[in-house]
Amino acid sequence: MEKLKVLLVVGNLEMKRHLDKILSADPDLDVVAEANNAYTARDKIIECDPDVMLLCHDLPRMPGITFLGKLMPQRSTQTIVIAKPEFEDEAYRAGAKDFIVCGDHSEILEHENICNRLKKAAGGEWLANAKKAPVLHAAQMTRSSGSEGDTTTSIIAIGASTGGTEAIATVVRGLRRDIPGIVMVQHMPEGYTQMYAHRLDNEGEVSVKEAVSGDVVKPGQILLAPGDKQMRIVKINGRFQVECKHGPRVTGHCPSVDALFESVARVAGKEAIGVLMTGMGSDGAKGLLAMRNAGARTIGQDEKTCIVYGMPKVAYEIGAVKWQVPLEQIAQKIYYLLDKRQ
């Protein structure tokens, strides 16, 4: 297998030495070029066509994240950003695949898994064939012995409305079959959800079906709420299952994102990730807030990429959204949160 081509972009000499030492120790990696500023980095990308770029935000002349934001629309490059924690959201908005927190130059030495994260960012066979300290797939994650605060994400809940059919398809194409089980509401009338589930089932690696009561939430599968019923989550014998029942509208909708999210908050708590996407109105906002208050990690689609910035906007304004993320970055943000379990 050919080595993974890495472009290292770092402005600080001490940091460069640290990173050179880490990267040179991995036989799977080949640092094909280095740059100490954005302008040189741009030229090296054209010249060397790297598989992945390791980019420090602290650069002379132009900050690394600013450079990334200018680069991605012209030449999409898998990138890991190293920066202080306050720049995390900005890095993902600019197009970063992964983010490594670095409060000072010495802290980078603590990131012993940086080589594996580069391989994962590159995707494909590198994720499957990382030789050292393999990155666990989401479905394999378990509690860390000796750290009671760590949890495994057992369920992901997604809600959308206007503009959601195409937006959800974009996210689905970015998911692998190792993803934890997903429950989803897309506002649609009866009959259309079954056709939409069939369409999504052909979009990527994960399987998709219209949910029926008793379906078990399992890795690699999306359960889509039927168009005429409220779908909620229950836990029976330690396993998450769905209940799909006729009932009154919630927040004006059946199925309702709020109904689903509120059940996930009650039953799954911190074992969940919630994602609220494009849509008119406010459905899902209160439910997402309940999820966040219960310890779940919560994502809202950003205004720029929403067809209608209604539901995510209300959720953001009431404090339900922890991370605002562009549509194209939602799938990778989910995987980042699965790895970090934060």
pLDDT per residue as tens digits for the range 278-325: 999 999 999 999 999 999 999 999 999 999 999 999 999 999 999 999
117 confidence band (pLDDT: 50, 70, 90): confident
Query: Residue 66 has what pLDDT?
Result: 94
The catalytic residue among 26, 28, 283, 302 is 283
Question: Exposed, middle or buried, 46 (CB in 10 Å: 0-12/13-18/19+)?
Answer: exposed
How high is the mean pLDDT of the chain?
A: 85
Sort strands 239-245 and 230-236 into parallel, antiparallel or unpaired: antiparallel
201 is catalytic: no
Question: Is 65 within 8 Å of 38 (Cβ atoms)?
Answer: no
> Among residues of the chain, what percentage have pLDDT more than 90?
61
Domains 4-135 and 155-340 are alike in CATH topology: yes
154 confidence band (pLDDT: 50, 70, 90): confident
187 is catalytic: yes
Other CB atoms within 10 Å distance of the CB of residue 206:
21
Classify residue 99 by its DSSP letter.
E
51 is catalytic: no
The catalytic residue among 18, 57, 187, 253 is 187
**4-135 has which CATH code?**
3.40.50.2300
Least confident of 73-82, 91-100, 144-153: 144-153
340 confidence band (pLDDT: 50, 70, 90): low
Q: How many helices (H) and strands (E) does the chain have?
A: 12, 14
137 confidence band (pLDDT: 50, 70, 90): very low
Please say if the pLDDT value at position 216 is more than 90: yes
What is the average per-residue pLDDT within 80-87? 89
Query: Residue 132 has what pLDDT?
Result: 34
Question: Is 108 within 8 Å of 15 (Cβ atoms)?
Answer: yes
CATH top-level class for 155-340? Answer: alpha beta
What is the average per-residue pLDDT within 166-193? 94
Query: Residue 143 has what pLDDT?
Result: 29
Question: Exposed, middle or buried, 60 (CB in 10 Å: 0-12/13-18/19+)?
Answer: exposed
What does the block give as tokens for 140? 């394999």
What does the block give as tokens for 177? 């079959």
Give kind and range of the element (H or E) at residue 289: helix 285-293
140 confidence band (pLDDT: 50, 70, 90): very low
What is the average per-residue pLDDT within 242-268? 96
The catalytic residue among 26, 98, 154, 161 is 161
Query: Residue 61 has what pLDDT?
Result: 87
Q: Classify each residue of 209-238 as buried b or exposed e, where b means 16 or more C-beta atoms within 10 Å of its C-beta.
A: ebbeeebebebbbbbbbbbebbbbbeeeee
Domains in the chain: boundaries: 4-135, 155-340
- Cα–Cα distance, 184 to 238 (Å, whole number): 21
